[in-house]
Amino acid sequence: MDIHTLMADDKKYYMNTFGQRIPICFEKGEDCTLFDQNGKEYLDFLAGIAVNTLGYGDEGFIGALEGQLEKLIHCSNYFYNEPQTSLAKLLCQNSCADKVFFTNSGAEANEGAMKLARAYFYKKGQPREGFVSALHSFHGRTIATVSATGQEKYQKPFAPLLHGVTYVPFNDKEALAAAVTENTAGLMLECIQGEGGVWPATQEYLEFARELCDETGTLLILDEVQTGMGRTGKLFCHEHYGVQPDLFTIAKALGNGLPIGAVLSKDFCASFEPGDHGTTFGGNPLCCTAGLYVLGRITLPGFLESVTQKGSNFKAALSSLMQYCPKIVDVRGMGLMIGVQLAADTPTAKVTAKLRELGYIVGTADGNVLRLLPPLVMKEDELLSIVPAIKTAISEV
Ligand X SMILES: Cc1ncc(COP(=O)(O)O)c(C=O)c1O
CB of 32 to ligand X, least distance (A): 20
DSSP assignment of 120-155:
HHHHTT----EEEEEBT----SSHHHHHHSB-GGGT
Pick the closer one to ligand X by CB: 42 or 248: 248
Are the C-beta atoms of residues 313 and 244 closer than 8 Å to each other? no
Can residue 103 be called a binding residue for ligand X (CB under 6 A)? Answer: no
Q: How far is CA 329 from CA 156, 196, 320, 332, 340, in A?
A: 31, 17, 11, 10, 8
Q: Which residues contact 48 (CB under 8 A, 6 or more apart)?
A: 257
Minimum CB distance to ligand X, residue 165 (Å): 15
CB contact set of 256 (below 8 Å; sequence gap of 6+): 51, 52, 53, 54, 58, 61, 290, 293, 294
Shorter beta-carbon distance to ligand X: residue 44 or 195: 195
Report, in Å, the least distance between residue 59 CB and ligand X.
26
* 213 binds ligand X per the rule CB under 6 A: no
Instruction: Return the range that interacts with ligand X (CB under 6 A); candidates 100-108, 165-173, 211-219, 389-397.
Output: 100-108
> Does 105 interact with ligand X (rule: CB under 6 A)?
yes
| Minimal distance, residue 225 CB to ligand X, in Å | 4
Query: H/E element holding 168?
Result: strand 165-168
Nearest partner of 221 among 180, 261, 249, judged by Cα: 249
The reply to whether 366 sits near ligand X by the rule CB under 6 A is no
Q: Name the residue whose CB lies closest to ligand X.
A: 106
Task: Please choose, from the candidates 180, 118, 171, 181, the residue with its C-alpha nearest in 3D space to the C-alpha of residue 144.
Answer: 118
β-bridge mates for residue 364, sequence order: 370
Where do runs of H (alpha helix) occur along the chain?
A: 3-13, 47-50, 59-71, 82-93, 106-123, 143-148, 173-179, 203-216, 238-241, 285-298, 303-320, 348-357, 380-396
| C-beta closer to ligand X: residue 151 or 385 | 151
Site for ligand X in 224-283 (CB under 6 A): 225-226, 251
Would you give the binding string for ligand X spanning residues 17-36, x where CB under 6 A is met? Answer: --------------------
Specify the stretch interacting with ligand X by CB under 6 A; choose among 133-141, 159-167, 289-297, 337-345.
Answer: 133-141
Q: Which stretch binds ligand X (CB under 6 A): 18-26, 59-67, 219-227, 289-297?
A: 219-227
Give the one residue of 29, 130, 194, 311 binding ligand X; rule: CB under 6 A: 194
Q: How far is the CB of 205 from ligand X (least distance, A)?
A: 17
Query: Any idea what the Cα angle at residue 86 is, between residues 102 and 117, rounded to 5°?
Result: 35
Least distance between ligand X and beta carbon 261 (Å): 6
Nearest residue (CB) to ligand X, 233 versus 328: 233
| Residue 194 C-beta: closest distance to ligand X, Å | 5
Name residues contacting ligand X, limited to 37-96 (CB under 6 A): 49
Cβ 189 vs Cβ 222: under 8 Å? yes
| Contact window for ligand X (CB under 6 A) among 36-44, 68-76, 218-226, 276-284 | 218-226
Cα gap 323→276, rounded to integer Å: 56
**Residue 348 near residue 370 (C-beta atoms within 8 A):** yes
Q: Residue count at the site for ligand X (CB under 6 A)?
A: 15
Stretch that binds ligand X, among 39-47, 187-195, 234-242, 332-340 (CB under 6 A): 187-195
Q: How many helices (H) and strands (E) does the chain have?
A: 13, 17
CB of 227 to ligand X, least distance (A): 7
Question: Shortest Cβ distance from residue 345 to ligand X (Å)?
Answer: 27
H or E stretch covering 167: strand 165-168
Please report how close the Cβ of residue 335 comes to ligand X at its closest, in angstroms. 15
Binding residues for ligand X, rule: CB under 6 A, are 49, 105-107, 110, 138-140, 190, 194-195, 223, 225-226, 251
